[in-house]
Structure 1
Amino acid sequence: MDLSYRDPVSSRSFSCLTTIILLLGSVLSLVEAGGDETDRLALLEFKAQIVDHGGVLSSWNDSSHFCGWYGVTCGRRHQRVTILDLRSENLAGVVAPDIGNLSFLREVYLQNNSFHSEIPLQFGRLFRLQKLFLNNNSFSGQIPSNLSHCSNLLILSLGFNTLEGNLPADLSSLSKLQILIFEVNSLTGDIPPSFGILSSLRVFGIMTNNLSGTIPETLGRLRNLRALGLSQNNFFGTIPISIFNISTARILYAAQNQLEGSLPRDLGFTLPNLEAISLSGNLLTGPIPESISNASNIGEFEIRFNNFTGKVPSFSKMRGLNWFSIGQNNFGGGQSADLDFLCSLTNSTNLERVAIGRNAFGGPIPDCIGNLSITLSAFSLNDNHISGIIPNGIGNLINLEMLAMGANNISANIPSEVGNLNKMKSMDLGRNSFSGQIPESMGNLKMLTILSLHDNNLWGSIPSSLGNCQNLLLLDLSFNKLSGNIPSEILGLSSLSRYIHGTSICTG
């Protein structure tokens, strides 16, 4: 065969194909160039609607390509904007609808600024969008329901604005969504039951709104959920059992609602990974389940202002516990062993706050409180039926800043070891049955601002050493059996704005 022969038909076909490819390349170049110009104009229009207090957008001009402008990132293959990052730049104004022309945009970070007006509907045109952060601004109006068109969205954060209206049920179509945060707005209505099909959701935060209705049972289908924040709304009814069966859950916040019912007995087994639970300010009843000890990773346990009853179980396995707040309930029964659970808290080496006031605890304060973590800064046992004495070990809690033991029946002397608490700012031992003299060592508490010892049986003279408490604002010694003159060292305190002695002083 003659290899130099060329079939005329084949040659023409090849020639046409080459021409088409060249033409197609030219067309694509024109398209890319047009897209390039579209992005530039969209950014300039975005800038035109902004008050730039810090001048961070000064580079946004024709002296350089927009891909080099501050806060702008472009893709490698095409010179198209993929990331817009202007977080925390003291920007104000409105977000221009032209942002919807940045069709290659994948990530938007505009949080921590002062943008206002409505969120542009044109965000719904950004089909490639994966992350949208508009939190901590002043956006108003409703959440655009057409954000449901952004089918690749992974994170939607609109918290800390002034948004109104309902949660758009259409958002339930965002099957890839992992983080959904609307906290601190003015949203109303209920949680759409269809949100239960957001199977990829890990964080759902709607705290501090005006949402109402019952918590949908369908939320229990969110098997990948790590954090659920429902606090400070108007939800009523019971917490669905399905919520307590999300074994991946680490954070459960539902405080300050109108929820009722009791906690499931197997809570510690169904939520083994729980790290924080806050159910304060509801109408919950029943005991704390003993199974709670199985949730050994809990660091925050807060259930105050409810109607819980019964004996408090052991928390000895929770070595990372730092916040323990069960006040304003009906725990205890006036029994001698009511406070034994405090000894289980000695295993928590990061403990910062213990609040058990306003319950029905009786019996003495166990000696083991001296073994509580030295990281403890607040300890409140007020308004119970506690008797006995303050153990001398109280002096070991050297980082204690607040001690509230008022309104009990604690007796005997105030231990001199309280003088070791040199970080103390507020101490309330009033309305008890203390006797003896006020310890001279209280003069060591130089950071003290409030000292309340009223309604006891204290006697003797007022120690002049209290004059060392240069930050003292309130000193209440009324209704005791104190004698002598008020020391001049105390009267000379410039910080003292209120000094109550009532019937406590019999001057010589």
Structure 2
Amino acid sequence: MRLFLLLSFSGFMLLEAYRFTDETDKQALLQFKSQVSEDKQKLLSSWNNVVPLCNWTGVTCGHKHKRVTLLNLGGLQLGGMISPSIGNLSFLKSLNLENNSFGGTIPQEVGNLFRLEHLFMGINFLKGGIPATLVNCSRLSILDLFSNSLGQGVPSELGSLTKLVALHLARNNFKGKLPVSLGNLTSLIQLSFAENSLEGGIPDDMARLTQMVTLDLSLNSFSGVFPPAVYNMSSLESLYMFHNRFSGILKPDFGNLLPKLHDLYIGSNSIAGVIPTTLANISTLQMLSMPYNSLTGNIPPSFGKVQKLRVLSLYSNSLGGHDSLGALEFISALTNCTQLHTLNVANNTLWGDLPTSIANLSMNLIELNLDSNFISGSIPHDIGNLKSLQTFWLGRNLLTGPLPTSLGKLSELVVLYLLSNRISGEIPSSIGNITRLEKLYLSSNSFEGTIPPSLGKCSHLLHLVIEDNKFSGTIPREVMQISTLVLLTMSNNLLTGSLPNDVGRLEQLGTLALVHNKLSGKLPEALGKCLSMERLYLRGNSFDGTIPDISGLMGVKEVDFSNNNLSGSIPGYLVKFKSLEYVNLSYNNFEGKVPTEGKFKNATIVLVSGNKNLCGGVLELKLKPCFSQATAKGTKHSSLKKKVVIGVSVSMSFLLLLFIASVSLYWFKNRKKNKTNEETPSTTLGAFHEMISYGDLRNATDGFSSSNLIGSGSFGTVFKALFPAENKVVAVKVLNLHRRGAMKSFRAECESLKDIRHRNLVKLLTACSSIDFQGNEFRALIYEFMPNGSLDMWLHPEEVEEIHRPSRTLTLFERLNISIDVACVLEYLHVHCHEAVAHCDLKPSNVLLDDDLTAHVSDFGLARILLKFDQDYFLNQLSSGGVRGTIGYAAPEYGMGGQISIHGDVYSFGILLLEMFSGKRPTNELFGGNFTLHNYIKYALPERVLEVADEIILHNGLRIGFPVAECLKMVLEVGLKCCEESPMNRLAMSEAVKELISVRERFFKARRGARH
């Protein structure tokens, strides 16, 4: 029946086509024009009743019948809708509407064009799927709908278009699985489904597509083992399957099955096993890219036989290993590949000495990246032979020895990245010959000697990062004359002398870091000319004098002048810096009044301790008050003033004694009254103003009713409490004193919170230490109430009872704000408290949210005050055999008996970040053994970030792509750096705060730009 209907329809279309005339075509096109947006119709001005139809823009007619056979409007940037009248062009063989701005749907009437052979509608804004009527265009050989928003699934009817040679459906947000019917398209040469949301395996029926030359399945969610059907496509020249979920191992005879391959891109999957040596049998192979997989074993030296090889990209696998012999032999073999221009094997486990043969690689080599391995030895003297090299990455290895002078021969070099090795000696002056150099990273090595003035010849330098070495001598003026510099960090060296006045020539400089050197003298006035400055770090030197006029640095975000010998008053213009996020003036000789306007209202970002002559400021700074000194007017006035002062002092003393007596009497009466009731309420927290009894708490919680139960933790239960007289709702944490460590938890929390204040800490209002009505000891802590509950219930609403479940989900921007809130309070605890405080149990259930979803960190039951002078005492007082923390969030060193430190909090914060943006707990059943949440995220970045992101984030109305993907990548990278296994490798909380705030700013600017 379907065949009969199809034949009948085709016959009808044939009759209709011969009934139509060129006037029909003309009217169809005029109708098409009417649907084009008005501002673009002028591009079709020749489409009128005066100009002959066959002379219209983009129109080609047949020689005999003068009917329209080809309509080519590609690239005219036309907008509007595609008119259904297009279906009346019954002689049309080729329709090209690509690279325009058409919206709406593809008209069903396109199915009337039974003569159509070529259909190009790529790069538009079409939606609504592929019309089913397209199956009637049985002569179609090319169907190109690339880069639209068609959505829906790939229709199985496409399998009926058996004459198709090229099918391009990339970037259309198609979902679902590929239809089995695609196996019928045996004439296909090109097939692209890239950048969609397709899933499942590749149908085995596609093994019939033996004519295939180009197959692109990249950037989807295809899964299963490497598709067996692909091995049957022996004509394949280009295979793109990167960024999917393919797994398994590659067949050992891979290279024999696909002998014509030019390009093989299968990175960002989960392919394991060794690299098949038969790949070297593909003599045509030019591009081999397999990064971000789980490949093991050695890189086959046989790749040296592939004469045409141009790209070998195998980074971020597990290739090599400390027990692998000859892991670097492939480098010597590749010297035969004279066309090689990219070699990237970074982020593997390659061991061994760097072979001298690396200097004999192709003269065409542009990129050489061996970063983040375990490569030892030294950089060969002849490395200068690689004269075409533009990027050279050898950072994070075990290299020793000096830098060879032949580096200066790499005149095309743009990036030199050698940080975190053990390279010693001086920087050769020949480095000044690399005049195109833009980024030089030599930090965290053992360099010594002076900084060569020849660096000044590198006039395109953007980043100069040489911190954490042993450089001595002065800062060369020539370096300060590189006007292109954006980032200059020389911290943690032995530099002496002053900061050159030429610093004012660095008008593009965004960051200047000279922390912990031996610099001295006055800061130059020219510093105020660095108008692009955002971060200025001069901590830990011997600069003296006053702060120069830097009022022009209106975009500065962070300023650190601490631990110097600076003097004078705090410049008033600092309060006008609207971008200021952090200013540290501690441990200098500043004097006078601390401002209270602008950013100086926020004590969490302003540090001024260690300046004994400062006064005033906001209360949180705890500085002495400023007394204005009246002008003396003779001894009579002076004497009078003394009398007044004495009188006031006596009066104040009397009032203070009276106040103390009154308080003592009140306390004594209360004590007697409470004793009668068999209660003894008290507080260990002298700073708290209320005294609450057991009876009060019992009444306020309706007898500690389960209806007021908020949650429970390691040492107690939390209830919601209402005090009607004050009309105040609070949260009451009742300690379970039968639980070992509960009393110590109570003391720890009191001790931790009594002297610290931060807007992102849950405020502890008071405490109750009493006896209940049965004569048992009773301990409770009373906090401000957080109406939006814990972060945990927002991240995992499916685990929450419906009555307590949030009514909506957290957006990406809200999660980012919450993470910054938590980071800020940890930075405060670690850095800005009088003594460092470690929370020791950071997790989502201990992060509470107020009315506007501002985060507040709670539950300091395991907190440690890390007193330098008596740490052991406090550990003994507050610990019961070491920190327990919470499984999944506790730092690994704690599980091995490691000492308590702020680094443990950083680890917990990193896990918290990963959980917030992936939606997966660290204890998820997915993880086990060595496969952790950390590894799960690490292996996915950067290409597969959207795969590991919490789907709730991606379905809250934000467009997938930048800034969402970019934002997620940057945030997760912060999380990974925070939860490194080694405590010393973890990011400091102050750095985490900076990076997260930077992400938020970029995200906000991108969204704001998109709205405009």
Q: TM-score, normalised by structure 1?
A: 0.91
Deviations 1:392-423 (A, max 9, x none): 23212222111110011111111111111122
Question: 2:321 maps to which residue?
Answer: 333
Question: 1:384 maps to which residue?
Answer: 373
> Which amino acid in the other structure matches residue 357 of structure 1?
A
Question: 2:310 maps to which residue?
Answer: 322
Question: 2:395 maps to which residue?
Answer: 406
SS in 2 for 1:331: coil
Of 58, 61, 64, 1:77 maps to: 64
In 2, are the aligned partners of 1:54 and 1:90 still within 8 Å (CA)? no
Question: 1:371 maps to which residue?
Answer: 360
Question: 2:385 maps to which residue?
Answer: 396
Of 21, 28, 36, 1:42 maps to: 28
In 2, are the aligned partners of 1:336 and 1:364 still within 8 Å (CA)? no
Question: 2:128 maps to which residue?
Answer: 141
Question: 1:103 maps to which residue?
Answer: 90
Q: Does 1:360 align with 2:349?
A: yes
Structure holding more strand per residue: 1
In 2, are the aligned partners of 1:269 and 1:291 still within 8 Å (CA)? yes
SS in 1 for 2:197: coil
Residue 32 of structure 1: CA displacement? 6.1
Distance verdict in 2 for CA 1:151–1:34, change over 3 Å = closer
Question: 1:500 maps to which residue?
Answer: 489
Q: Does 1:93 align with 2:54?
A: no
Question: 1:488 maps to which residue?
Answer: 477
Q: Does 1:131 align with 2:87?
A: no
Partner Cα separation in structure 1 for residue 196 and residue 159 of structure 2: 20
> Which amino acid in the other structure matches residue 275 of structure 2?
I
> Which amino acid in the other structure matches residue 325 of structure 1?
S
SS in 2 for 1:296: coil
> Which amino acid in the other structure matches residue 347 of structure 1?
N
Partner Cα separation in structure 2 for residue 489 and residue 294 of structure 1: 53
Q: Does 1:458 align with 2:447?
A: yes
> Which amino acid in the other structure matches residue 43 of structure 1?
L
Deviations 1:360-398 (A, max 9, x none): 111122222222222221111011010111122321222
Structure holding more helix per residue: 2
Greater Cα offset, 43-52 or 188-197: 43-52
In 2, are the aligned partners of 1:60 and 1:70 still within 8 Å (CA)? yes
In 2, are the aligned partners of 1:485 and 1:505 still within 8 Å (CA)? no
Higher relative contact order (CA 8 A, sep 6+): 1
Question: 2:433 maps to which residue?
Answer: 444
Residue 31 of structure 1: CA displacement? 8.6
In 1, are the aligned partners of 2:201 and 2:227 still within 8 Å (CA)? no
Listed as ranges, the matches of 1:208-227 within 5 Å are 208-227=195-214
Which structure is larger by alpha-carbon Rg, 1 or 2? 2
Residue 55 of structure 1: CA displacement? 3.8
Residue 507 of structure 1: CA displacement? 1.7
In 1, are the aligned partners of 2:17 and 2:91 still within 8 Å (CA)? no
In 2, are the aligned partners of 1:32 and 1:78 still within 8 Å (CA)? no
Question: 2:282 maps to which residue?
Answer: 295
Residue 317 of structure 1: CA displacement? 2.9
Question: 1:228 maps to which residue?
Answer: 215
Question: 1:276 maps to which residue?
Answer: 263
Q: Does 1:261 align with 2:248?
A: yes
SS in 1 for 2:388: coil
SS in 1 for 2:30: helix
In 1, are the aligned partners of 2:342 and 2:367 still within 8 Å (CA)? yes
Residue 268 of structure 1: CA displacement? 0.5
Note the residue ranges of structure 2 that are not aligned, 5 or more in a row: 1-15, 498-1012
Residue 494 of structure 1: CA displacement? 2.3
Residue 178 of structure 1: CA displacement? 0.7
SS in 2 for 1:465: helix
In 1, are the aligned partners of 2:202 and 2:229 still within 8 Å (CA)? no
Partner Cα separation in structure 2 for residue 138 and residue 343 of structure 1: 51
Partner Cα separation in structure 2 for residue 197 and residue 153 of structure 1: 14
In 2, are the aligned partners of 1:136 and 1:161 still within 8 Å (CA)? yes
Residue 245 of structure 1: CA displacement? 2.2
Partner Cα separation in structure 2 for residue 387 and residue 149 of structure 1: 65
Residue 462 of structure 1: CA displacement? 0.5
Distance verdict in 2 for CA 1:53–1:317, change over 3 Å = farther
Of 43, 55, 64, 1:68 maps to: 55
Partner Cα separation in structure 2 for residue 168 and residue 399 of structure 1: 49
Residue 141 of structure 1: CA displacement? 1.7
> Which amino acid in the other structure matches residue 395 of structure 1?
G
Note the residue ranges of structure 1 that are not aligned, 5 or more in a row: 1-29
Residue 344 of structure 1: CA displacement? 2.8
SS in 1 for 2:130: coil
Of 403, 408, 428, 1:419 maps to: 408
Deviations 1:136-156 (A, max 9, x none): 111122111221111000000
Q: Does 1:121 align with 2:108?
A: yes
Partner Cα separation in structure 2 for residue 204 and residue 212 of structure 1: 16
Residue 54 of structure 1: CA displacement? 8.2
SS in 2 for 1:148: helix
Of 167, 182, 195, 1:180 maps to: 167
Question: 2:734 maps to which residue?
Answer: none
Identity of aligned residues (%): 40
> Which amino acid in the other structure matches residue 321 of structure 1?
L
Of 294, 298, 305, 1:307 maps to: 294
Question: 1:112 maps to which residue?
Answer: 99
Partner Cα separation in structure 2 for residue 371 and residue 219 of structure 1: 44
Partner Cα separation in structure 2 for residue 279 and residue 154 of structure 1: 28
SS in 2 for 1:487: coil
In 1, are the aligned partners of 2:475 and 2:495 still within 8 Å (CA)? no
Distance verdict in 2 for CA 1:160–1:255, change over 3 Å = same
Residue 181 of structure 1: CA displacement? 0.6
Partner Cα separation in structure 2 for residue 381 and residue 124 of structure 1: 55
Partner Cα separation in structure 1 for residue 278 and residue 17 of structure 2: 64
SS in 1 for 2:248: strand
Partner Cα separation in structure 2 for residue 307 and residue 315 of structure 1: 20
Greater Cα offset, 371-380 or 113-122: 371-380
Partner Cα separation in structure 1 for residue 161 and residue 124 of structure 2: 24
Distance verdict in 2 for CA 1:209–1:366, change over 3 Å = same
Deviations 1:463-501 (A, max 9, x none): 011111122222111121211111111123222222222
Question: 2:766 maps to which residue?
Answer: none
Listed as ranges, the matches of 1:196-215 within 5 Å are 196-215=183-202
Partner Cα separation in structure 2 for residue 394 and residue 93 of structure 1: 58
Partner Cα separation in structure 1 for residue 203 and residue 383 of structure 2: 47
Partner Cα separation in structure 1 for residue 304 and residue 447 of structure 2: 37
Deviations 1:197-224 (A, max 9, x none): 1111111100001111112122111111
Partner Cα separation in structure 2 for residue 446 and residue 214 of structure 1: 51
In 2, are the aligned partners of 1:135 and 1:157 still within 8 Å (CA)? yes
SS in 2 for 1:156: strand
Question: 1:156 maps to which residue?
Answer: 143
In 2, are the aligned partners of 1:183 and 1:206 still within 8 Å (CA)? yes
Partner Cα separation in structure 2 for residue 379 and residue 204 of structure 1: 33
SS in 2 for 1:488: coil
Partner Cα separation in structure 2 for residue 119 and residue 329 of structure 1: 44
SS in 1 for 2:188: coil
Distance verdict in 2 for CA 1:54–1:429, change over 3 Å = farther
Listed as ranges, the matches of 1:343-358 within 5 Å are 343-358=332-347
Which consecutive segments of 4 or more residues in structure 1 shift more than 4 A? 30-34
Distance verdict in 2 for CA 1:87–1:491, change over 3 Å = same
Q: TM-score, normalised by structure 2?
A: 0.46
